[in-house]
Copies of this chain bind each other. A is one copy, B any other.
């Protein structure tokens, strides 16, 4: 029987697991305090438990400062904050080299995105900036860049094209800098050999495999990874940065956010009568996905909604009112926290990040 919180069909992911040798995630009891593990949203991994059980370990993620931050990005933030709260060293790379060279974002704009869209929201979502190692690719260190340069000598164009498709010079550069993001913590100039976890969406697995291969070639510990599911777009289909109505941006103003919430795709039936009789088709319902991924932490609360929906007791209109209330609370709280931390974050950006 399907868990109430396993709304997405896992079959697609099983194919990925089989094809690329990703290990299915079987979370231990310890991890059950995290809803992404508990609800099967993180469905696979490579060497996760080597990381989890290691004495020397850290996590790393990248921020691409090329557009608005949305709920899809929030999934990584939540995971990083979870690990940071467990006392695990947290590194965050602002991928501004990549934004500038491959997405043609002007330097100043990339810096603005990094702060306004990302860092402020990361802190509002719980990141402890003082304890994290946040850096910009344009401003890291000589050993970091040296590693990126030398890694470029350890692979071939054919190998890269097989993974990344057509390459531009900027893309080639960015790939090795991204590889150095993941591997440089293991340099002697940083913390030496250690287990580094990179939590990503499953579409990032090719990068992970590429970097794991490079790690092996230079006798570093292969980085670990976890894979989470994609979020569905608010109106169905893919959630995509290029389609504003497909996502809730963390900086959307409240009227915009509430309007997007009103338009979220549900699993509603053709008529109220039919829905009372059959219950909602929750497997298609993006409202429910939003609850499960983001807005309802408590399993009992989520389970009640699941039952009220599938039994036909609660119709979509009522449920959307709940969603809108959750969205309003979340967005208001987030905005307040952004503003409360603005001075600190801007000072950090100016003095440390882009010094």
Contacts and interface: CB of A to CB of B under 8 A. Distances in A.
Interface in A129-166: 137-142, 145-146, 148-150, 152-153, 155-157, 160
B157 A177 contact: no
A102 interface: yes
Contacts of A174: 152
Size band of the interface chain A makes with B: 20 to 34
Contacts of A137: 149
A150 B97 CA distance: 7
A107 B149 CA distance: 12
A201 to B, nearest CB: 25
20 contacts: A100-B150, A101-B150, A104-B153, A138-B146, A138-B149, A138-B150, A139-B146, A141-B142, A145-B145, A145-B146, A145-B148, A145-B149, A149-B177, A156-B168, A157-B167, A157-B169, A160-B169, A172-B172, A172-B173, A173-B176
Given A138-B149, A140-B142, 18 more contacts: A97-B146, A100-B153, A101-B149, A101-B150, A102-B153, A104-B153, A138-B146, A141-B142, A145-B145, A145-B148, A148-B173, A149-B177, A152-B170, A152-B172, A152-B174, A153-B169, A153-B173, A157-B169
